[in-house]
Structure 1
Amino acid sequence: MARIDTDPTLHSPTDTIMREVDARRHPAARAYVWRRRAAAVLISAALVAGQAPTAAWAQDAGAGESPAAASTQQAGLEDAAGADASGSEAAPGAECAHEGADESRSDASADSTDAADASDSAATGAAEQADADGTGAPASPADAGDQADAAEGAASQAAEDTITVSVKVTGVTEHAEDGSFHTETWLPLAEVEVPATGEVTAWEVFSSALDEAGYTYVVEGWYCPFSITSPDGRTLAATSSEPYSYWSFMVNGDYASVGADQYVMQAGDSIELVYVDGSGEALPEGEVDTNPDAEHPDIPSDWNGFANGGGGAVVEDAETPTEGAQEAWKDSLLTDEEREQYASLAASDPLIIDGKIYVVASSAVYETEPPYSATKSPARISVINASTGAIERQVTLSTSLDSVCRPVYADGIIVVPLAGGRLQAVSAATLETLWVLDGIAGAQSISSLTVADGYVYVATADALGTDYTATSGTVRRVNLLTGALSGTAENAASGYYWAGGIWMDGYYLVGDDAGMVHVYASDLSGEVSSVMLSSGVRSTLVADGGYVYAVTKEGVLHKLAVDESGAVREVASVSFAASSTSTPTIAAGKAYVGGSSASYAGVLAVIDLETMTVSQSVTGYAASDGSVQALPGDVKSVPLISIQGSGTYAYFTCNNLPGGLYCYRLGDAAASMLYLPASADQNYSMTSAFAGPDGTLYYINDSGNLFALRAAQETPGEEPGAGEAPGDNAGGSENPASPSGPASSRPAGTQIQASHAPLSTALASTRDGAKTSGRAEDAAQDDKAERDEPAGAEAVASLATTGADVAEAVVERGANPVAVGGVVAGVAGVGVLAAVALWLRRRGGEA
């Protein structure tokens, strides 16, 4: 039975084709394969060119075909190849190129193709000898381009020879005394790459996945499987009498009509083994219903995640209020019952999708006596009318929130991080749940999500030390559409607490609570490099101008460089505060980032990124009496930057009373209190302000309220209550609900999507595919190679066939001076190109 790799954390296939796929993911290995294949093509071409005089002579003399002569030439080449067989290996994927040629060609053509393969081996050995003698020569730029084209063609062919499927195994818990039990995930839904041979069965995929996870199993009679035993020794087996129990096989959500050992896998299949236990009572799980086929049209959005999900917390030409903002409306995110119980609020950073505000919230009611344990409500996602604050729709999610929540929106899907490391994906259009990803025991999911290339990256803090520092953590890569796990990277030394990663140029970067910035392969198959910073990272990484910026807990901004191979290094750093957990916003070459002073007052720093110096440090705000007061608490939020005709403005909150919203105009000596809540609504705030397309500002504080703010003159009259319409709009402002058309058709208020924006999510790469990802150029080359590769394979076979025919004529008709000269020229060409081949090989090994 063929071995099929199913470990989503490794993706290390065992057959030649799968190694080709893996090589494409790693630039150094890919370059090496390209160079070797390109060298083989060039050598074959040189042989033909060198024998051109012989071919001309043979044609004039009317030379006939001689299979015996062709065999003689092939034997000579095979002898030459054998001389260096121990030091030469055929380039992986060469068989695929030959298969692309016409399989119906004559035996002579087939023999000549074998001769070309042998000459490739001989040339490699000759090149090694030439390099040892110091005679190696570099390839020209034109040669390098040919090599890249040839390599992309082979790699594209390799990718076509694999398919992606998903696999899951669901068991049950041990029975309680009354015989009741719950379902239990044994193997979470995970993506697996298998050969596209049309012969791989579902059971081969299951058995390989179970092997990798440490499970054992028995196949007996018609049962496939009869039993499965978990790593801790629990066995779930089929029974032959009532009450019946057995392992049920499902394909794409439906019960299969054949056994797992009979079903042949197809691309995109999702298979599952589910244990049906007839010996007890299955208890309701309290889980939400899922509909993997729920409609999720890609609705336009104005705010798609923490720090605007990669668009950046930057708006341009939006008339955001700059002084004296007035409450347009406020909406309590707590229910009447929760307010009566003095519940505390856990709320998400909101989203704006199709002009509606989406916010996730849950509550916790604490006991009044030790150990002060809390009763938490399930989280709920609310859709709020941006004009009135009225809740239009609401749905309950599968579990509660941790202290903060940073959902993200992409491709019509909202992905919500929930307590315990769980993820839930909801259609923005219908609020139906598409999938739920199981959590991790003891985990907190309070970091930013990253969306890139059709996948969601989630980083968790799995355990905390006595000083509340994360001591372990996990990064997982999840298919955005299906929820299938597609990679895992475990961190046994530290975890990810309020952190956030970015995806760039095929790598995923994230900082941990110990201060290490990790660079992972995009599929999380391995760590490419890392760099230790001055202290822990509790912020989201940000990219700008080819550099990555990280804020560490002791208030230092670090500037990092990542090269094409994924190697990361620190370029510069600057201290701006005594401590910080704020994510910077970058606009026009400046970073705006919050923190606190040694006396715990708030700090908003403006940093010049070219010189890495603090150009302004804002520590106070102008009070109503004209005095300047210290900012009351740590600026933990992501500053919102608004670029208007009157200047550049930064909006932020402070994590202390009174819980208002502050505004700073670039160049001023101090900030101002833009909005002061009523005394009953004053509380701490860690959340970030965000803006609607009409300039309306929104933010949340721990009073449980979502506030909508506009310039004072826009909403005269009586202050509206929670969820009420704001009344007559004498100022004639536009309806704050965003138009339903695409963002590009919107006037003022459109978010900047430039490189200066934080890349907490790379949503453009999800919407537009490879053309907008960091690998756009590679994707274009993949497409070209896919079109050109079959013709290239035919060309190689044709060249080799011509060489064999000419050799037959030489043997049959005897020597000719011109032919001899051609052979000499051909041999010389082989020598030079062989040296080039070895030079490329050595270079590939150094890459």
Structure 2
Amino acid sequence: MKERKKTVRKLSVLVLCVALIFSFTVNVSAAADPGKVIKSDWTNFRGNAENNAVTNAKVPKEASKAMLYWATKKGSGWGSAAPGVPILVDGYLYFNAGKELVKMDAISGKVANKGDLVAASSFSICPPTYANGRIYVALSNGTIQAFNAKTLKSIWVYKDELGGQPNTTITYYDGCVYAGFWGAETRDANFVCLTTTDPDSKKTTEAKKAKWTYTVKGGFYWAGCYASKNFVLVGTDDGESGYDSQTSNLLCFNPKTGKLLDKESGLNGDIRSNVAYDKATDRYYFASKGGTFYSVKVSAAGKISDLKSVELGGMSTSTPSVYNGRAYVGVAGTGQFSKYSGHNITVIDLNKWEIAYQAMTMGYPQTSGLVSTGYESADGSVYVYFFDNYTPGKLRIIKDKPGQKKVERISTDYIEGEDESCADILFTPKGAQAQYAICSPIVDEYGTIYFKNDSAHIMALGSKIESIKVTKKPSQTTYDIGDKGNLSGIKVTVNLANGLTRDISDYVTCSTEAIIEGQNDLTIYYPYSMYNDEGDAEPIFTTVDIKVNSKAVSAKNNAAKKSIKASKVSSVKTTAGKKKVTVSWKKVSGATGYQVSRATSKGGTYTIKKTTSSAKYINTSLTSKKTYYYKVRAYKTINGVKYYGKWSAVKLAKVK
């Protein structure tokens, strides 16, 4: 059952100046794993084991200093075919889209790999979870599938006997994953614990059995758990139609056995948030769709105590973000899908246990916020980010500090009677990217926020790019007329408005147009910058000096390139000796040198074993009685670049 109504709109396609990148070529010298440029991870829904999305990253704090870098459409709509909420691991975004698990480079938005899901998600509103080299994805009909994060090969599949929608985030702790399912308001559904071990390493979709399950009327919807050594803490739906019956529960389990250690019953309506933990207060926080913000203490033995609450004035499915004695949750107005009907970001003073103020929004901030301490000053000021779940899906920002009683930064939104308390806007999606946004922002170490909305785009919003700088020239700086630009060996950094720099060497491009006589520079472009609330981005580029040879020299060199490319090494001979093979061949006229490649079977993988200027190579330290396969090609170095001929016929030798 889908909770959200949709407004169907015809979206115009925004023509972007960055479209000029199609006339450029990407740096062909990219590293084997360019995603490693980003080292920070966001491995689950809230980014950490505490389910408390607090970061020291310098997220943009002004609309003029923010920029949408890229937007990649993957899937469609907002249902089972839509892209799911992403996580970030080793510089790659992981998310489900239809029946695919997608691995996407976080700097370029380009798909790096895909894996096959056994089913789609119901509504793609939850992210996968990563732990110890594996990705865990919740899918329709009570399904969880495990994958190898590097290869995206399936490992095992769990199918719950009660089925249900996969709308609860997966939590990993100490070799186990925990998740709940939801079938309907009054139907039974399970909360499950699965070990992460592989039942059969030779199979990829074998059935996984639960370590333990717990059945609840109403089930679990967006109610992700907090897991620790001593207990697992999770909220339930209320088991009744609607969402304000006083019958929901906070359950506390033994993580290994599933034994119910304690529960807090009679809570206000469906609990549709994760349980978050704040170390400073040593308390656990969650919100209910009935409109109540809750907090409890939990002992090491799993006993729940000291229940506290604050009435929010509207429903909330937002996992609280808690920092420095303040809590931040998204709250609905009087009409869940009516704009400016009282939707707000509620700020709670935890010292006084009261609402400090509410920052109004256009749409309901239906998911959860992000707190950045990256600019924290002496007075404790931080920045908090939430998305409106209403087209165009604005990203809101508030600046807050302990003791603050009203909105400090006012939006340019017009809300009759409320215009002086509306949360500021950091970014507004446009054109094809404008849609409802039911996603919690995640962030990397450079302050880049990654998100999706119902336009089916995965997007990256970061600090505005001030400039790019070549810190090491490419290997080739001398060209012949007719050559193409070559960025091999180049090093380029980008300078961001938040003061940070990043290596973008693997992501720059240059023109595919042929080098012309008299040309004295090569233009280097960085194509990942689209628009912000002030307008479209200007192309981002710099230049490197080059030298172009004369017509006569170019003609001579171009003839030599053509000749070497057409060449093929002949008369290759192999002579086997004791634990060695001697490979010899006939020299190619004009060649600078040769490459010798070897495999252990004729159709196997060949690797370069030797680069030499000689016409002979002795391969030593080989295995007796084993057969090796060799092939050779010539190359010629012109303007510092190697041009290669064709591989010779394969020759074999059996070692004595």
TM-score by length of structure 1 reads 0.44
TM-fit CA distance, 1:574: 0.5
Determine the structure 2 residue equivalent to 1:493.
217
Q: 1:353 Cα deviation (Å)?
A: 0.9
Could you report, residue by residue, the CA deviation over 1:91-145 in whole angstroms, capped at 9, with x for unpaired residues?
xxxxxxxxxxxxxxxxxxxxxxxxxxxxxxxxxxxxxxxxxxxxxxxxxxxxxxx
**Aligned-partner SS, 1:680:** helix
- Please say if 1:422 is aligned against 2:143: yes
Structure 1's 680 and 525: CA in aligned 2 closer, same or farther, altered over 3 A?
closer
Instruction: Give the conservation status (yes or no) of the 8 Å contact 2:494–2:502.
Output: no
TM-fit CA distance, 1:734:
3.1
Task: Confirm or deny: 8 A CA contact 1:583 1:637 kept in the other structure.
Answer: yes
- Report how far residue 617 of structure 1 moved: 1.1
SS in 1 for 2:46: helix
* Number of the residue aligned with 2:46: 307
**Aligned pair in 2 of structure 1 residues 616, 414: CA closer, same or farther (>3 Å)?**
same
Q: Does 1:735 align with 2:505?
A: no
Among 381, 384, 387, which residue is 1:653 paired with? Answer: 387
Residue in structure 1 matched with residue 192 of structure 2 by the alignment: 476
How far did 1:566 drift? 2.2
- Kept in 2, the 8 Å contact 1:538–1:552? The answer is yes
Give, in whole Å, the separation in 2 of the partners of 1:488 and 1:614.
39
* Cα 1:486/1:728, change in 2 over 3 Å: closer
3-state SS of paired residue (1:310): coil
How far, CA to CA, are the matches of 1:306 and 1:489 in structure 2?
22
Contact 2:44 2:127 in 1 (8 A): yes
* Pairing 1:385–2:102 present: no
Cα drift, residue 521 of structure 1: 1.7
The corresponding residue for 1:323 is 63
Give the secondary-structure state (helix, strand or coil) at the position aligned to 1:644: coil
1:249 is matched with none
Aligned to 2:373: 643
Question: In the alignment, which residue of structure 2 is the partner of 1:705?
Answer: 457
8 Å contact kept, 2:162–2:188: no
Q: Residue in 2 aligned with 1:274? A: none
What is the match of residue 542 of structure 1? 276
Q: Judge conservation of contact 1:639–1:652 (CA < 8 Å) in 2.
A: yes
- Separation in structure 2 between the aligned mates of residue 348 and residue 608 of structure 1, nearest angstrom: 33
Conservation of the 8 A alpha-carbon contact between 2:343 and 2:363: yes
* 2:287 counterpart letter in structure 1: V
1:692 and 2:413 aligned: no
> Is the 1:477–1:486 Cα contact (8 Å) retained in structure 2?
yes
What residue is the counterpart of 2:235 in the other structure? 511
From the superposition, tell whether residues 474 and 408 of structure 1 become closer, same or farther in structure 2 (CA, over 3 Å): same
Equivalent position of 1:612 in the other structure? 353
Residue of structure 2 equivalent to 1:431: 152
Deviation, 1:447, is 0.3
1:3-14 to 2 correspondence within 5 Å?
A: none
**Which residue of structure 2 aligns with residue 263 of structure 1?**
none
* DSSP 3-state at the match of 1:303: coil
| Aligned counterparts of 1:731 and 1:550: Cα–Cα separation in 2 | 36
Assess if the C-alpha contact under 8 Å between 1:696 and 1:736 holds in 2.
no
1:738 Cα deviation after fit: 13
Show the counterpart of 1:580: 316
Q: Which runs of 5+ in 1 are unaligned?
A: 1-298, 363-377, 620-630, 717-726, 740-847
1:203-352 residue pairs with structure 2 within 5 A? 302-310=41-49, 312-324=52-64, 325-334=66-75, 345-352=81-88
Q: CA deviation at 1:331?
A: 0.8
Provide closer, same or farther for how the CA distance between residues 607 and 343 of structure 1 changes in structure 2, counting only shifts above 3 A. closer
Larger radius of gyration: 1
The AA in structure 1 aligned to 2:385 is Y
TM-score norm. by structure 2 comes to: 0.56
Q: Is the 8 A contact 1:332 1:705 kept in 2?
A: yes
The answer on whether the counterparts of 1:321 and 1:695 sit within 8 Å (CA) in structure 2 is no
- In structure 1, distance between residues paired with 2:374 and 2:187: 44
Residues 276, 286 of structure 2: 8 Å contact kept: yes
Residues 309 and 350 (structure 1), Cα distance of their counterparts in 2 relative to 1, 3 Å cut: farther
C-alpha spacing 1:489/1:524, structure 2 compared with 1 (3 Å): farther
2:314 is matched by which residue type in structure 1? A
Cα deviation digits, residues 301-323 of structure 1 (max 9, x gap): 51001011426322115253432
Q: CA deviation at 1:400?
A: 0.6
Which secondary structure state, in structure 2, belongs to the residue aligned with residue 673 of structure 1?
strand
Deviations 1:579-635 (A, max 9, x none): 11111111222211111122443211111223221122111xxxxxxxxxxx22111
The CA deviation at 1:417 is 0.6
Displacement of 1:711 after TM fit? 2.9
5+ residue gaps in structure 2?
A: 1-37, 200-207, 239-247, 337-341, 411-422, 469-491, 507-656
**Structure 1 pair 301/426, CA: closer, same or farther in 2 (3 Å)?**
farther
Aligned residue type for 2:188: S
Q: Determine which structure has the larger helix proportion and give its number.
A: 1
Equivalence for 2:541: none
Aligned length, in residue pairs: 395
User: Separation in 1 of the partners of 2:291 and 2:351?
Assistant: 19
Q: Which residue of 1 aligns with 2:264?
A: 531
| Offset of residue 300 of structure 1 | 6.7
What SS class does the counterpart of residue 398 from structure 2 fall into? strand
Cα gap change, 1:520 to 1:319, in 2 (>3 Å): closer
Question: Aligned with 2:502: secondary structure?
Answer: coil
Whether 2:164 is the aligned partner of 1:443: answer yes
Separation in structure 1 between the aligned mates of residue 234 and residue 502 of structure 2, nearest angstrom: 39
1: CA distance, partners of 2:383 / 2:345? 12
The separation in 2 between residues aligned to 1:506 and 1:639, in whole angstroms, is 28
**CA shift in 2, pair 1:558/1:425, >3 Å:** same
**SS where residue 222 of structure 2 aligns?**
coil
CA distance in 1 between partners of 2:277 and 2:505 (Å): 28
| Higher share in strand | 2
CA shift for structure 1 position 452: 1.3
- Tell me how far apart the structure 2 counterparts of residues 637 and 388 of structure 1 sit (CA, whole Å): 26
**How far is the alpha carbon of 1:735 from its aligned partner?**
3.4
Indicate whether 1:566 and 2:302 are aligned.
Answer: yes
Provide Cα deviations, 1:368-421, integer angstroms capped at 9, x if missing partner. Answer: xxxxxxxxxx2x122222221111212221111111233111111111111111
Helix, strand or coil for the counterpart of 1:400? coil
In structure 1, the partner of 2:528 is none
User: Which AA in structure 2 matches 1:636?
Assistant: Q
How much has 1:485 moved relative to structure 2? 3.3
Please tell me whether residue 593 in structure 1 is matched to residue 329 in structure 2. Answer: yes
Relative contact order, CA 8 A, sep 6+: which one is greater? 1
- 1:438-496 per-position Cα deviation (integer Å, ceiling 9, x unaligned): 233441111011211210011111x31xxxx2531211111113265353333243310
**Residues 678-708 of structure 1: CA distance to partner in whole angstroms, max 9, x if unpaired?**
2332111110111111111221110011121
| 3-state SS of 1:593 partner | strand
CA spacing shift, 1:731–1:687, aligned 2, 3 Å? closer
Is the contact made by 1:387 and 1:735 (CA closer than 8 Å) also made in structure 2?
A: no
Alignment partner of 1:457 is 2:175: no
CA distance in 1: counterparts of 2:158 and 2:503, whole angstroms:
35
